[in-house]
C-alpha cells in the first residue's frame, strides 16, 4: 500500500515537474532573428513593438543584408519546445569585428526589464543579464533584446550569441522562489551579409530516477534531486521498474514459531526478524526463547 501511495504522489509530482510545464526551461535556446521586411528608422526609440512574432524554427531568419553605410534591426529571441514563463535571461556576444560592423543602438524587451550589462556592452566579448520587473516573458520565440547594426563597408560578418563571458552562464531562469536557472541548449548567430546560424529547441532525452523503489522519468539530475531521488542516467526507461528490488525473505520469530518471510510480512504478524539465522532449520526461534523453562534452550543451559 505504501508503494502505491508513493507512486501516486510521484505521479502528481511528475506532472508538476514534467517537461511540458511552463516553469521547466530545459529546452531553451537563443535565436538570432531578423524579421523580413523590417526597415530601420530613426524615429523608433525601442524596437520591441516592431517584433513580428514567429512560432517555429522554420520561420527563423538569422541572416541580414546591410549595404555599406546602412543600418539593420535584429533580435535575440528566447525559444523553447512550447509555451513557457520565465523571469530572467543571460547571454553575451562573441568576438565580432567592430571595425566592419558596430552596434549603434540596443535595448531590452520588455523595456521595463532590469539589465546588468558588462563593461562596453554590447561590444565584442561582452554580456548582459536581463530580469523581468513588472512583466515576465510568456509564450515562445519571445524577444529578450534588440540591436541596430551599422555596416561600414557591407562586408560579411558573423555575430555569435554566447554565454555571458563575465559569468560563464547563458540561459534562462524561471519565476519560482527561489528561481531555477537552465543553461541554453544552443546559441544562434546573426549573419551580416552572410548566412547566420539557426538554433532550434530540442527536447532532451529522458532517463530514470529512483525515488525509493518507484521509477520516474526525468530530463536532468537536478529534476531527480528535487524529488529526493537517486539519478540513473544509465537507464533510458522505467520498463520493468529497475528501481524496485524485491524484499529478501529471512527468519522471523513469532513467539517460538519460525517463519521464512519478508520483514514487512514479519512485522504484520507481530514477529521479530533475525538476520543472524539463515533459515528455519532446527527452529532457531524455539532455542532463543528464554521464557519457556522446558525449551531446548533452557535444557542446553542446564547441562552446559
pLDDT tens for each residue of 16-34: 345 568 999 989 999 999 9
Q: How many whole angstroms separate alpha carbon 10 and alpha carbon 144?
A: 35
> Stretch 236-240: mean pLDDT, rounded?
92
Q: How many whole angstroms separate alpha carbon 164 and alpha carbon 183?
A: 11
At residue 171, does pLDDT exceed 60?
yes
Share of the chain above pLDDT 70, in %: 88
Q: How many whole angstroms separate alpha carbon 174 and alpha carbon 179?
A: 5
Least confident of 60-64, 223-227, 251-255, 270-274: 223-227
Count other C-beta atoms under 10 Å from residue 54's C-beta.
18
- Tell me which residue has cell 535565436: 31
Q: How confident is the model at residue 303 (pLDDT cuts 50, 70, 90)?
A: very low
Three-state SS string over 150-214 comes to EECCCCCEEEEEECCCCCCCCEEECCCCCCCEEECCCECEEEECCCCECCCCCCCCCEEEEECCE
Q: How many whole angstroms separate alpha carbon 89 and alpha carbon 262?
A: 52
- What pTM was estimated for this model as a whole? 0.67
Closest CA to 197 of 34, 56, 31: 31
3-state helix, strand, coil in the chain (%, to 5): 15, 35, 50
Contact 86, 142 (CB under 8 A): no
DSSP states of 247-302 as a string?
PPPEEEEETTEEEEE-HHHHHHTT-EE-TT--S-TT-HHHHT-TT-TTSHHHHHHH
Q: Give the pLDDT confidence score for residue 17 in this predicted structure.
A: 43
Q: How many whole angstroms separate alpha carbon 264 and alpha carbon 269?
A: 9
> Stretch 45-72: mean pLDDT, rounded?
95
> Stretch 109-128: mean pLDDT, rounded?
97
Domain residue extents for the chain: 1-19+205-244, 20-192, 250-302
At residue 298, does pLDDT exceed 60?
no
CATH class of the region 20-192: mainly beta
pLDDT in tens, 192-207: 999 999 999 987 788 9
- Tell me which residue has cell 504484520: 268
Spatial neighbors of 116 by CB under 8 A, at least 6 apart, are 128, 129, 131
Count of alpha carbons within 13 angstroms of residue 205, beta-carbon side: 7
Q: How many whole angstroms separate alpha carbon 163 and alpha carbon 30?
A: 10
Spell 230-264 as b/e; 16+ CB within 10 A means b. ebbeebeebeeeebeeeeeebbbbeebebbebbee
At residue 47, does pLDDT exceed 60?
yes
> Stretch 265-287: mean pLDDT, rounded?
91
Q: How many whole angstroms separate alpha carbon 59 and alpha carbon 146?
A: 18
Count other C-beta atoms under 10 Å from residue 218's C-beta.
25
Pairing verdict, β 63-64 and 189-192: parallel
Q: How many whole angstroms separate alpha carbon 23 and alpha carbon 93?
A: 26
Amino acid at each position: 500500500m505504501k508503494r502505491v501511495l508513493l507512486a501516486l504522489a510521484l505521479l502528481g509530482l511528475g506532472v508538476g515537474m514534467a517537461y511540458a510545464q511552463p516553469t521547466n526551461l530545459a529546452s531553451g535556446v537563443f535565436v538570432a532573428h531578423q524579421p523580413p521586411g523590417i526597415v530601420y528608422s530613426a524615429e523608433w526609440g525601442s524596437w520591441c513593438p516592431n517584433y513580428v512574432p514567429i512560432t517555429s524554427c522554420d520561420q527563423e531568419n538569422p541572416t541580414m543584408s546591410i549595404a555599406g553605410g546602412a543600418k539593420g534591426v535584429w533580435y535575440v529571441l528566447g525559444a523553447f519546445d512550447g509555451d513557457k514563463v520565465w523571469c530572467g535571461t543571460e547571454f553575451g556576444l562573441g568576438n565580432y569585428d567592430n571595425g566592419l560592423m558596430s552596434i549603434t543602438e540596443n535595448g531590452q524587451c520588455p523595456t521595463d526589464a532590469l539589465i546588468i550589462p558588462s563593461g562596453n556592452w554590447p561590444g565584442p566579448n561582452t554580456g548582459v543579464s536581463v530580469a523581468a520587473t513588472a512583466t515576465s516573458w510568456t509564450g515562445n520565440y519571445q524577444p529578450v533584446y534588440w540591436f541596430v547594426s551599422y555596416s561600414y563597408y557591407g562586408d560579411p560578418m558573423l555575430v555569435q550569441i554566447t554565454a555571458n563571458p563575465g559569468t560563464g552562464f547563458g540561459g534562462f531562469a524561471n519565476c519560482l522562489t527561489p528561481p531555477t536557472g537552465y543553461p541554453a541548449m544552443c546559441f544562434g548567430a546573426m549573419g551580416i551579409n552572410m548566412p547566420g546560424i539557426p538554433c532550434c529547441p530540442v527536447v532532451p532525452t529522458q532517463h530514470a530516477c529512483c525515488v525509493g523503489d518507484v521509477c520516474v522519468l526525468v530530463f536532468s539530475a537536478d529534476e531527480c534531486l528535487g524529488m529526493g531521488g537517486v539519478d540513473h542516467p544509465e537507464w533510458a526507461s522505467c520498463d520493468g521498474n529497475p528501481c524496485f528490488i524485491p524484499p529478501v525473505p529471512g527468519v522471523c520469530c513469532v513467539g517460538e514459531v519460525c517463519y521464512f518471510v519478508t520483514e514487512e510480512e514479519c512485522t504484520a504478524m507481530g514477529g521479530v526478524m533475525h538476520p543472524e539465522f539463515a533459515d528455519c532449520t532446527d527452529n532457531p526461534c524455539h532455542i532463543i526463547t528464554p521464557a519457556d523453562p522446558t525449551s531446548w534452550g533452557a535444557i542446553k543451559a542446564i547441562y552446559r
